[in-house]
């Protein structure tokens, strides 16, 4: 008996990274030595004290039962203290913080709390695909905001037409940015907050890469700015900061209304985060942060190892002081998918075509710095032999 997918599921584009994995595995099966710089998954292990905290907590039967849906009080207290120390921001752990099964889950679920069918979600592109899929799943309509190199890959939200703004419920921003590595200054967030307040639009800030920096200044949180809690919610993840992608732990913080709405959705679709993982997260947030800074220095070294090969191949590298992504502009006339295919088949290197993040990513490609320096030097040598 035939069954068909729902219209929402049918409207989704193929998930970019699943397709990348499929093609990579086909080429690898032919015996090609693959250097995979596609998916942004840290290659170094989780810090040992975090693993030990999980092991100890997992032994306690008290942690084997259902957790509190919104997160352990101790975990939320730890997050609040992290904000106080890191950003000088005061948060009420009970009302302004919610634990997440990784920030991806929260990003996907948040629109369900505030977006009705036909409402508009202002979505950056190139950008993380889940901003768009989250809007689709609740019947919302994505209005894509091009992130252009001439604007430093910041959205020109002031130029959005008034008629569209009346229908808009959420604007997504993500800095430090995936895929471009661009960063945003406090001034940008201040203007965004004032604009959002005028138009009664929620600012959803994805800060998954905020600690993955190797510049002189730490990246600001939108919650540092006056008036932020009136319009903003921020999504954080321990995945990239502490090499914990598989652990699935993050949080949302911000205005009480936004946290309460997200919490109501989560109460109906999941049962919270395993308490032992939250306790491991507490160990990560309160422990020695030297490994975080060391990873930042390592990603800078890796970037410097790969960049000469990219430039030798005729690619223009966008400067960045954050994330572990290298965003490159391809020579005129070279299409992103063609570039990625040729790179994989001729050099055994996996990169992500920029158009997979949205139409404005056409003519660009992303490299994730998830291999050791020597492998990146090998990738650079292979690239240097190619001309695009």
* DSSP structure string for 40-85: ----SPPPHHHHHHHHHHHT-GGGGSPPPTT--HHHHHHHHHHHHH
Give per-residue pLDDT as tens, 35-91.
999 989 999 999 999 999 999 999 999 999 999 888 999 999 999 999 999 999 999
Please list the residues that pair with 245 across neighbouring strands.
Answer: none
What stretches in the chain show pLDDT beneath 70?
1, 15-19
Query: Which of 205, 265, 209, 272 lies closest to 237 in space, CA to CA?
Result: 209
pLDDT of residue 5: 86
CATH architecture of 7-45+290-384: Alpha-Beta Complex (3.90)
pLDDT of residue 10: 82
266 Ramachandran zone, left/alpha/beta (phi>0; psi -120 to 50): alpha
Q: Which fold has domain 65-286?
A: 3.40.640
E-assigned strand segments in the chain: 35-36, 97-100, 120-125, 141-146, 168-174, 202-206, 232-237, 250-254, 316-317, 325-329, 349-350, 352-353, 364-368
pLDDT of residue 17: 67
**Helix 103-114 and helix 130-137, axial crossing angle in degrees, nearest 10:** 40
Phi, psi values for residue 301, rounded to 5°: -65, -40
Question: Quick check: 213 and 176 in contact, CB under 8 A?
Answer: yes
pLDDT of residue 312: 96
Give per-residue pLDDT as tens, 266-314.
999 999 999 999 999 999 999 999 999 999 999 999 999 999 999 999 9
Residues of the chain within CATH 3.90.1150.10 domain(s) are 7-45+290-384
Residues of the chain within CATH 3.40.640.10 domain(s) are 65-286
Question: Quick check: 326 and 38 in contact, CB under 8 A?
Answer: no
Considering the entire predicted model, what is its pTM?
Answer: 0.95
């Amino acid at each position: 008996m035939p069954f068909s997918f729902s219209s929402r599921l049918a409207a989704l584009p193929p998930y970019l990274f699943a397709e990348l994995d499929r093609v990579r595995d086909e080429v690898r099966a032919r015996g090609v030595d693959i250097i995979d710089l596609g998916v942004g998954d840290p290659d170094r292990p989780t810090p040992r004290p975090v693993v030990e905290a999980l092991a100890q907590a997992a032994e306690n039967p008290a942690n084997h039962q259902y957790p509190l849906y919104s997160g352990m009080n101790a975990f939320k207290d730890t997050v609040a203290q992290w904000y106080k120390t890191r950003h000088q921001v005061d948060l009420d752990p009970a009302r302004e913080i919610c634990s997440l099964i990784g920030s991806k889950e929260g990003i996907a679920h948040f629109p369900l709390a505030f977006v009705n069918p036909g409402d508009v979600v202002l979505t950056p592109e190139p950008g993380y695909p889940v901003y768009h899929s989250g809007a689709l799943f609740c019947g919302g309509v994505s209005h894509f905001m091009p992130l252009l190199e001439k604007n430093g890959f910041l959205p020109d939200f002031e130029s959005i037409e008034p008629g569209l703004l009346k229908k808009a419920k959420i604007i997504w921003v993500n800095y430090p940015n995936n895929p471009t590595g661009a960063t945003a200054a406090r001034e940008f967030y201040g203007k965004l907050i004032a604009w959002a307040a005028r138009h009664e639009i929620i600012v959803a800030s994805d800060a998954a890469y905020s600690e993955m920096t190797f510049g002189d200044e730490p990246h600001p949180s939108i919650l540092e700015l006056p008036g932020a809690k009136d319009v903003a919610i921020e999504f954080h993840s321990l995945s990239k900061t502490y090499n914990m992608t598989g652990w699935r732990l993050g949080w949302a913080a911000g205005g009480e209304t936004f946290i309460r709405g997200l919490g109501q959705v989560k109460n109906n679709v999941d049962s919270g985060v395993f308490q032992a993982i939250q306790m491991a997260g507490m160990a990560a947030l309160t422990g020695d942060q030297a490994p975080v800074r060391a990873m930042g220095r390592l990603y800078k070294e890796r970037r410097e190892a790969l960049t000469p090969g990219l430039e030798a191949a005729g690619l223009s590298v966008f400067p960045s002081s954050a994330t572990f992504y290298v965003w490159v502009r391809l020579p005129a006339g070279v299409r992103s998918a063609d570039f990625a295919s040729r790179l994989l088949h001729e050099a055994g290197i996996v990169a992500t075509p920029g158009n997979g993040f949205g139409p404005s990513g056409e003519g660009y490609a992303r490299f994730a710095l998830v291999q050791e320096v020597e492998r990146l030097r090998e990738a650079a040598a292979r690239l240097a032999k190619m001309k695009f």
